[in-house]
């Protein structure tokens, strides 16, 4: 038996897509997830939206002009992209593919149109939808965050309803009532998906055959 044949490694990482309406807490839950699951890789999106106070280029987003964003699409460098409330958002393709090929799991925090594009390309991905405890609480969270104008808040609430109608296309729905609970549920889903996908059985058969 060689050392190459007796490791129970998976060949490719798992692609996780986390969606949910603006203000539901995707960013907050992802930040908590980073603390407890540092092995998970986060895809940084490109956007034409202006940076919010404190946002850092390459950390929160790659901030682009409309022309630059268009060029990325034309050069086929986007895994998916979507227009959301007057701005474009998209996932750089190469980074995600490299991470998956290296055997690590990668998480995309994206809206629903883009998530459905990803589902076409990666049906084996894990699609998780984050829900608010109520619509009032959703609005309250967007308002409390204080990053949006009144008009943008109205647009985001209207998009939120459209997004929730498409929830049935997801594998899992999680209510973000408490950040820690939502985070634990995502970890539990990931752990279960690892068990389901691990290519352990062929390896075990190989071990047994090699011993006999």
Ligand X SMILES: Nc1nc2c(ncn2[C@@H]2O[C@H](COP(=O)(O)OP(=O)(O)O)[C@@H](O)[C@H]2O)c(=O)[nH]1
Ligand Y SMILES: Nc1ncnc2c1ncn2[C@@H]1O[C@H](COP(=O)(O)OP(=O)(O)O)[C@@H](O)[C@H]1O
Tokens 């060949």 sit at which residue?
Answer: 11
CB pairs under 8 A, 24+ apart, for 169-172? 169/112, 169/115, 169/116, 169/119, 169/127, 170/19, 170/115, 170/127, 170/128, 170/129, 171/126, 171/127, 171/128, 172/126, 172/127, 172/128, 172/129
State how far the Cα of 111 lies from the Cα of 129, in Å rounded to an integer.
10
Nearer to ligand X, 5 or 83 (CB): 83
Task: Output the smallest distance, CB 205 to ligand X, in A.
Answer: 40
Contact between 32 and ligand Y (CB under 6 A)? no
- DSSP 8-state symbol, 89: E
Which of ligand Y, ligand X, none does 197 bind, CB closer than 5 to 8 A by kind?
none
Contact between 27 and ligand X (CB under 6 A)? yes
Instruction: Identify the residue among 12, 93, 104, 145 touching ligand Y (CB under 6 A).
Output: 145
Site for ligand Y in 158-187 (CB under 6 A): 176-179
Instruction: Identify the residue among 29, 72, 82, 107 touching ligand X (CB under 6 A).
Output: 82
Instruction: Catalog residues that contact ligand X under the rule CB under 6 A.
Output: 22-23, 26-27, 45, 49, 80, 82, 84, 89-91, 109-111, 114
């Amino acid at each position: 038996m060689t050392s190459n044949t007796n490791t129970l490694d998976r060949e490719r990482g798992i692609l996780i897509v986390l969606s949910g309406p603006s203000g539901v807490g995707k960013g907050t839950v992802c930040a908590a997830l980073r603390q407890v699951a540092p092995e998970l890789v986060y895809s940084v999106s490109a956007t034409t939206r202006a940076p919010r106070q404190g946002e850092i280029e390459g950390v929160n987003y790659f901030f682009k002009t409309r022309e630059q964003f268009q060029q990325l699409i034309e050069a086929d460098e986007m895994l998916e992209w979507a227009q959301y409330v007057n701005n474009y958002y998209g996932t750089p393709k190469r980074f995600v593919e490299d991470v998956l090929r290296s055997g690590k799991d990668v998480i995309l925090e994206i809206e629903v149109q883009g998530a459905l594009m990803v589902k076409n390309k990666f049906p084996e991905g894990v699609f998780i939808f984050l829900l608010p405890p109520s619509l009032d609480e959703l609005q309250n969270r967007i308002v409390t965050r204080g990053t949006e104008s009144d008009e943008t808040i109205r647009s985001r609430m209207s998009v939120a309803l459209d997004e929730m109608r498409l929830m049935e296309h997801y594998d899992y729905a999680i209510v973000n009532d408490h950040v820690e609970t939502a985070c634990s549920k995502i970890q539990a889903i990931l752990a279960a998906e690892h068990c389901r996908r691990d290519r352990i059985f062929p390896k075990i058969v190989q071990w047994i055959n090699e011993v006999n």
